[in-house]
C-alpha cells in the first residue's frame, strides 16, 4: 500500500524554546517538536496521540504516523502524530526529553479538544517500538514533573484514557542484543534509579490505563517478552489488558501487514477495544 | 430432576456462562427430546468410530439425556450420556479441499455440541471447509481407563477421516482441529500425544497418522495441574494413576513435532485460568513450534462464535483463525 501523505495541519508543542535546550548543532531530530493532526471524515470524539518509533535516533513519521492515522480514520478516530525530540541531540536531561514532549502533546490536545472535535476524556495514546517505550512511559509516568509548566494546558492531566503499544520496549532493565533504545535514551552507564524510572514494567499501578498490546513473536529486534512482561505486571495490578501475539509480522510493521496475515486486523480490533474504554 | 455431581457441575457452568455481561437470565435446562427449540441433531451424515465396540466398553451403556440450556430464545443443545462416539459431517457448498475437526467442550461432563460444534461448522463450511464435529465419549460414564477415553476417540476420528478423505474431496495431509475448553484440552492432547498408543489397533485405518496439521485451542484447559476444576476431576476420576495425571499436563508433552498452535483466550475467563494458554505458549516457543496467541480483554468463557456481545474485539477470532489456518496448509486466505 502506498504511504499516506503527511498532514498539513500541525502545531508546535512549546511556545518558546523547548526545555533543556539548546540542542547540539549536528542534531538528528527536530528542535521544534510538533503534532500533526489527522482528522477522520466523521469524528466520533475519540483521539489518539501517536508516538512513532525509530530507536530514539529518528521518528518514523509516515510508517508509524501518517499510515496509522489513515488506518484509524474509518473508525472516526482523530490521530495526533508527535514529532518528538530525540535524546541523542544534546538536550539537558536527555532522558526526560521524549516524555516532556509526550506529556505536553497530550495536554495541548486536551486543551484544544473543541478545535479538534474530540472529547478530552476519550484521548488515548499509541506507541511503536521506541515510541512504544515512550508510550509505556506515558501510561505510567504521566504525573512525573519533567518540565516547568508553561501555560494553562499544563494544569491538565497527561494521563491517557488508554494505551496501544506495538512491539514496545517496556523495560530498560534488560537490553536485548539489537535494541538501541536504552543507550540512546539514557546514555552510557545510567544510574539504576533512572533505569527503573523509565521501565514501565516496574512502574505499573492500579491507575495505569487499559493496555492493548500487539507484538509479533518473530520480531528480531524487540522480543515479545517485552509485551508479555508488561501484560503480566498490569494484570497483577488489575489493569485491563488485551494482547495479540502474532506468529508472523517481524518488527516495525505499523499498519502495513498484508491482508492475508492476522496482524492486518489490528486496526479493527483496536478500534473496537478503544470504543469499550471510551464509553 | 435428579441432583448428582454432574448436574451440579452443569449448573455451576451455566451460572458462570450466565454471568456474562450481556447474558440474559438462564432458565432451568429442559430435556432436549421434549423441547421445541432443539436443533436438528445429529446431521444426516455421520459415522461411528468403533463399529465393533469401543475400547473399555462397560456392561451398561450410558443413556442419552440431552438438554437445552440458556436464556429463553437463545438456548443451546448439550449432550449428556454418550453411548457411542461418532463424527458428524458438515459439507460446504463450495469445498476448498480442506477439513477441520471441531472438538466441543463441556468440562468432560457434557458436550457443548451446538455452541462449539454446529456453530463452528456453520461458519467454516461457509469458508469452504468440510467440518467434522467430534462426539467423544465422556470419561465419567463407565468406560475403563477413563482418562484415555477422549483421546482414543480423537485419534481414531483423525485416522478414519483421513482414510475416507476422498469421500469428501479433502486433502488428508491438511486436516486440522479446533477445540474448545475441555475440548481444547482434548485438542492439545491430540496435538501432543497423537502417536501415543491408547488403544489396540482395530483395522488398517489405525496405521494412519492421527497428527493434526494444526490445532486451534480456544479457552483451553491445558494442564490438569493448573486447572483443578471439573475438567480435571471428570477426566481423571478418583485416585488416578500417576502416569495418567502426568500425561495430560499437555504443555509438558510439547515437542518440536507438535503441530502449529493457535491460542484464543479471554483474560476475563471466570472458568479456565489464562495461565493454561500462557503455559502452552511458553512450551511451544521453547520447542520452536509455530504459535500464535490472542488474549482478548473481554469474552468470558464458552463464547464459541455466536455468543459474544456485539462490539467485542473477540468477535474477530474466527476470521483470525481462518487467516492463520491458510498459512498452515488449510484453505485460502480469503472467504470463497
Which domains occur in chain A, in start order? 36-276 (3.40.50.1820)
Which residue, among B153, B171, B244, has the nearest Cα to B214 in the 3D structure?
Answer: B171
Asked if the Cβ–Cβ distance from A242 to B313 is below 8 Å, we say: yes
Give the separation between CA B5 and CA B180, rounded to whole angstroms.
22
In angstroms, the CA B217 to CA B329 distance is 17
| Interchain CB distance below 8 Å, B295 and A248 | no
Q: What is the pLDDT of residue A179?
A: 87
Record: contact A247-B334, CB cut-off 8 A: no
Asked if the model's pLDDT at residue B333 lies above 70, the reply is no
Please report the pLDDT score of residue A40 as a whole number. Answer: 97
CA distance B146 to A57: 61
Instruction: Supply the ipTM of this predicted assembly.
Output: 0.97
Distance of CA A113 to the CA centre of its chain: 19
Residue B8 clears pLDDT 90, i.e. is over it? no
- Whether chain A has a CB inside 8 Å of the CB on B290: the answer is yes
Q: What DSSP string describes B107-144?
A: TTTSB-TIIIIIHHHHHHHHTT-EEEEEEPPPTTSS-S
Cell numbers given for B290: 509455530
Chain B residues closer than 8 Å to A269 by CB: 313, 316
Distance from CA of B234 to the nearest CA of A (A): 30
List the domains of chain B with CATH numbers. Answer: 5-327 (3.40.50.1820)
The residues that bridge with B180 in the sheet, in sequence order, are: B218
Chain B nearest-CA residue for A239: B297
B5 pLDDT higher than 50: no
User: Is the CB of residue B282 less than 8 Å away from at least one CB of chain A?
Assistant: no
What's the mean pLDDT in B258-284? 97
pLDDT at position B20 over 50: no
Is there a contact between B297 and A210 if contact means CB atoms under 8 Å apart? yes
Torsions phi, psi for B300 (to 5 deg): 70, -150
Contact A269 B293 (CB under 8 A): no
Whether B245 has its CB under 8 Å from any CB of chain A: the answer is: no
Structure confidence by residue, pLDDT tens digits, B174-230: 999 999 999 999 999 999 999 999 999 999 999 999 999 999 999 999 999 887 778
Q: Could you give the CA distance from residue A183 to residue A204 in angstroms, rounded to a whole number?
A: 22
Distance (Å) of CA B170 to CA A4, A143, B117, B280: 43, 59, 19, 29
Q: Is residue B43 within 8 Å of residue B36, measured between CB atoms?
A: no
Going residue by residue through chain A (279 aa), what tens digit of pLDDT does each one get? 689 999 999 999 999 999 998 999 999 999 999 999 999 999 999 999 999 999 999 999 999 999 999 999 999 999 999 999 999 999 999 999 999 999 999 999 999 999 999 999 999 999 999 999 999 999 999 999 999 999 999 999 999 999 999 999 999 999 999 889 999 999 999 999 999 999 999 999 999 999 999 999 999 999 999 999 999 999 999 999 999 999 999 999 999 999 999 999 999 999 999 999 999
Query: Chain B: nearest CA to A187, how far in angstroms?
Result: 33
CA atoms of A53 and A48, how far apart (whole Å): 15
pLDDT at B9 over 70: no
All residues of chain A having their beta carbon less than 8 Å from the beta carbon of residue B291 are 217, 247
A217 contact residues in B (CB cutoff 8 A): 285, 291-292
Distance from CA of A155 to the nearest CA of B (A): 32
Supply the DSSP symbol for B50: -
| B294: closest CA of chain A, how far (Å) | 5
Closest residue of chain B to A246, computed from CA coordinates: B292
Total-model pTM: 0.95
Cα distances (Å, whole numbers) of residue A85 to A12, A25, A129, B92: 12, 14, 16, 56
Dihedral over alpha carbons A267, A272, A277, A279 (to 10 degrees): 130
Cell numbers that stand for A26 in this block:
549536528
DSSP state of A5: P
Q: How confident is the model at residue B40 (pLDDT cuts 50, 70, 90)?
A: very high
Cβ distance of A241 and B297 shorter than 8 Å: yes
Could you tell me what percentage of chain B is helix, strand and coil, using 3-state DSSP and rounding each to the nearest 5? 35, 15, 50
Q: At what angle do helices B182-193 and B149-163 cross, to 10 degrees?
A: 70
Element at A241 (helix H, strand E): strand A241-246
pLDDT for the residue B25: 85
Cα–Cα distances in angstroms (integers) from residue A144 to residues A103, A150, A209, B106, B175, in the given order: 9, 15, 15, 49, 55
Q: Is B89 in a helix, a strand, or coil?
A: strand
Q: What is the pLDDT of residue B328?
A: 94
In this complex, the residue of A228, A244, A261 whose CB is nearest that of residue B294 is A244
Torsion of CA A248, A254, A260, A261, to 10 degrees: 20
Q: What pLDDT score was predicted for residue B13?
A: 53
B282 Cα to chain A: minimum distance (Å): 10
Q: Judge whether B313 is closer than 8 Å to chain A, CB to CB.
A: yes
**Do the chains contact at A259 and B334, CB–CB below 8 Å?**
yes
Considering only CB atoms, B295 lies closest to which of A242, A259, A270, namely A242
What pLDDT, on the 0 to 100 scale, is given for residue B203? 97
Give the model confidence (pLDDT) of B131-162 as tens digits.
999 999 999 999 999 999 999 999 999 999 99
- Residue from the list A260, A269, A275 with its beta carbon closest to the beta carbon of B333: A260
Mean pLDDT of chain B: 92
Amino acid at each position: 500500500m502506498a504511504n499516506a501523505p503527511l498532514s498539513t495541519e500541525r502545531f508546535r508543542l512549546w511556545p518558546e524554546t523547548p526545555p533543556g535546550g539548546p540542542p547540539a548543532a549536528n542534531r538528528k531530530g527536530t528542535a521544534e517538536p510538533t503534532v500533526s493532526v489527522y482528522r477522520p471524515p466523521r469524528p466520533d470524539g475519540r483521539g489518539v496521540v501517536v508516538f512513532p518509533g525509530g530507536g530514539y535516533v529518528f521518528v518514523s513519521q509516515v510508517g508509524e504516523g501518517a499510515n496509522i492515522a489513515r488506518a484509524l480514520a474509518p473508525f472516526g478516530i482523530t490521530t495526533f502524530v508527535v514529532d518528538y525530540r530525540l535524546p541523542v541531540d544534546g538536550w539537558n536531561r536527555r532522558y526526560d526529553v521524549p516524555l516532556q514532549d509526550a506529556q505536553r502533546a497530550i495536554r495541548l490536545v486536551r486543551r484544544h479538544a473543541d478545535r479538534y472535535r474530540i472529547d478530552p476524556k476519550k484521548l488515548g495514546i499509541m506507541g511503536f517500538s521506541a515510541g512504544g517505550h515512550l508510550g509505556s512511559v506515558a501510561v505510567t509516568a504521566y504525573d512525573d514533573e519533567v518540565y516547568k509548566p508553561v501555560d494553562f494546558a499544563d494544569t491538565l492531566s497527561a494521563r491517557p484514557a488508554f494505551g496501544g503499544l506495538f512491539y514496545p520496549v517496556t523495560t530498560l532493565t534488560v537490553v536485548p542484543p539489537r535494541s538501541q533504545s536504552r543507550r540512546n535514551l539514557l546514555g552510557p552507564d545510567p544510574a539504576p534509579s533512572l533505569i527503573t524510572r523509565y521501565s514501565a514494567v516496574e512502574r505499573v499501578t492500579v491507575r495505569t490505563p487499559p493496555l492493548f498490546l500487539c507484538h509479533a513473536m518473530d520480531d528480531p529486534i524487540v522480543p515479545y517478552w517485552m509485551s508479555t512482561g508488561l501484560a503480566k505486571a498490569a494484570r497483577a495490578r488489575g489493569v485491563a489488558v488485551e494482547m495479540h501475539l502474532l506468529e508472523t509480522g517481524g518488527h516495525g510493521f505499523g499498519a502495513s501487514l498484508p491482508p492475508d496475515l492476522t496482524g492486518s486486523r489490528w486496526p479493527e480490533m483496536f478500534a473496537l477495544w478503544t470504543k469499550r474504554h471510551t464509553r | 430432576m435428579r441432583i448428582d455431581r454432574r448436574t451440579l457441575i452443569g449448573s455451576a457452568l451455566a451460572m458462570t456462562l450466565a454471568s456474562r455481561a450481556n447474558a440474559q437470565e438462564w432458565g432451568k435446562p429442559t430435556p432436549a427430546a421434549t423441547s421445541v427449540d432443539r436443533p436438528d441433531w445429529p446431521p444426516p451424515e455421520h459415522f461411528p468410530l468403533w463399529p465393533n465396540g469401543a475400547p473399555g466398553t462397560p456392561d451398561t451403556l450410558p443413556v442419552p439425556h440431552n438438554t437445552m440450556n440458556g436464556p429463553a430464545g437463545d438456548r443451546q443443545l448439550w449432550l449428556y450420556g454418550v453411548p457411542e462416539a461418532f463424527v458428524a459431517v458438515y459439507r460446504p457448498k463450495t469445498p476448498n479441499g480442506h477439513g477441520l475437526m471441531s472438538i466441543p467442550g463441556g468440562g468432560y461432563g457434557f458436550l457443548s455440541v451446538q455452541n462449539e460444534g454446529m456453530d463452528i461448522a456453520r461458519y467454516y463450511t461457509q469458508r469452504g471447509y468440510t467440518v467434522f464435529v467430534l462426539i467423544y465419549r465422556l470419561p465419567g460414564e463407565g468406560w475403563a481407563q477413563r482418562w484415555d477415553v477422549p483421546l482414543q476417540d480423537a485419534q481414531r476420528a483423525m485416522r478414519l477421516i483421513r482414510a475416507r478423505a476422498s469421500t469428501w474431496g479433502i486433502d488428508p495431509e491438511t486436516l486440522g482441529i479446533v477445540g474448545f475448553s475441555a475440548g481444547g484440552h482434548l485438542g492439545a492432547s491430540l496435538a501432543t500425544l497423537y502417536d501415543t498408543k491408547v488403544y489396540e489397533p482395530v483395522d488398517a485405518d489405525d496405521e494412519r497418522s492421527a497428527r493434526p496439521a494444526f490445532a486451534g485451542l480456544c479457552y483451553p484447559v491445558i494442564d490438569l495441574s493448573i486447572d483443578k476444576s471439573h475438567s480435571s476431576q471428570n477426566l481423571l476420576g478418583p485416585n488416578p494413576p500417576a502416569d495418567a495425571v502426568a500425561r495430560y499436563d499437555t504443555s509438558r508433552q510439547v515437542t518440536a513435532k507438535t503441530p502449529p498452535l493457535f491460542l484464543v483466550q479471554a483474560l476475563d475467563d471466570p472458568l479456565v485460568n489464562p495461565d493454561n494458554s500462557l503455559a502452552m505458549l511458553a512450551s511451544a516457543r521453547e520447542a520452536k513450534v509455530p504459535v500464535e496467541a490472542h488474549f482478548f480483554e473481554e469474552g468470558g468463557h464458552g463464547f464459541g462464535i455466536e455468543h459474544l456481545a456485539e462490539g467485542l474485539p473477540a468477535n474477530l477470532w474466527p476470521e483470525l483463525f481462518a487467516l492463520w489456518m491458510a498459512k498452515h496448509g488449510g484453505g485460502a486466505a480469503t472467504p470463497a
